[in-house]
Amino acid sequence: MFSTCNLGVFDLILESGDLLTSAIIADLLGTKACVALKSLRMKKKDNEGKHVRGKKQHGLPIEEICCVGSQHGFTKNKSCQTNLISFFDRVTSWVDTGNAYASEGTPPFFICKYQIFTEERLQRFSSAMGDAWSLHGQELLSAFDLSCFQVVCDVGGGNGALAKEYISLYPKATVTIFDLPKVVEGAKKKSVSSEECRISFHGGDFFKDPFPEADLYILARTLHDWDDDTCEQLLTKIYKACKPGGGVMVLETVINEDRTGPLVGHIRSIMMMLLCDGKERTQSEFNALLNAAGFKEIQSKKRNNYGAIWGRK
């Protein structure tokens, strides 16, 4: 909202005296990104002077954006609140230039996070990311019958929370977690359960180093960190590593095709844009990425909080 004010969006709407599309606003203000974001819907008065919702358009109503903090608990933690405020300060830069870091050239969050995080902060971050899979992992992994895939690689698997759900669901399987060495070292220290002998760790950079051999590669909340070109590069590398008949499973928030929701998906998309120049995607966007990498027989199933997208070589 502050960024919208700073950019003069509301002044422009007031002066126009009419509803304006995001494309017209972008053209008049010389901005690049608000066309893609499409995050505001107008409200107008009917003939009786009552405020009613305007014609259905892409994005979120302004009042829903305003209550994001209270709905998602961001205000409960002062440290989290401070960090989020510092990132949301970059909205104006992003809308104006298409780059949240244009003014000072600060590297995106995901590039430097493992360099600047202390071991304690890194463990907390990995634990927070893993919490989602303790809640939703089995629901997503059971969306398709994966029992034929006994050797699995969880790319960017963090602390192994999703791997634990996989071996619980498919007891004959083994899972290799492929993540940065610093992440892997921290995860090993926390890996003490007897069942986790079926979980192994492989340190490396998945853009630079070879992938461990596997029948199935999983990308869970990984693609949303990156732009389309980088995602295609990563998926193409996975496709080349796949054996014939092997596949990839992508677990991500899926935005509605008409971009009217879900609300949490748009919130996460804004967060990814600010933190790491990434975004959440629609099903057709995921299909295009997997097709470009070479995968076929693409299927998807949407669950409560995330979607499961599956492609085969």
pLDDT at 133: 86
Rounded-to-integer distance, Cα 112 and Cα 159, Å: 19
Domain 109-312, CATH number (from 1.10.10.1100, 3.40.50.150, 3.30.710.10, 1.10.3720.10): 3.40.50.150
Angle between helices 9-16 and 22-29 (to 10 degrees): 110
pLDDT tens, residue by residue, 247-305: 999 999 999 999 888 888 888 888 787 777 789 999 999 999 999 999 999 999 998 88
pLDDT at 92: 60
Is cis: bond before 262, omega within 30 of 0?
yes
* SS3 assignment for 110-158: HHHHHHHCCHHHHHHHHHHHHHHHHHHHHHHHCCCCCCCCCEEEEECCC
136 is known as an active-site residue: no
Ranges 31-40, 120-129, 210-219: which has the least confidence: 31-40
pLDDT at 96: 60
For residue 28, give both structure tokens: 């008049």
pLDDT at 90: 61
Q: Is the pLDDT of residue 94 over 70?
A: no
Using 50, 70 and 90 to split pLDDT, how confident is the model at 175? very high
pLDDT tens, residue by residue, 120-158: 777 777 777 777 888 889 999 999 999 999 999 999 999
Q: Which residues of 104-118 are buried (b: 16+ CB within 10 A; e: fewer)?
A: eeeebbeeebeeebe
Phi and psi of 131, rounded to 5°? -55, -35
Q: Are 155 and 237 in contact (CB under 8 A)?
A: no
Q: Is the pLDDT of residue 34 over 90?
A: no
Q: Give the global pTM.
A: 0.70
* Domain segments of the chain as ranges: 2-97, 109-312
DSSP β-ladder status, 296-302 and 307-312: antiparallel
Considering 58, 136, 202, 224, which one is annotated as catalytic?
Answer: 224
Rounded-to-integer distance, Cα 38 and Cα 266, Å: 10
Q: Are 183 and 126 in contact (CB under 8 A)?
A: yes
Using 50, 70 and 90 to split pLDDT, how confident is the model at 185? confident
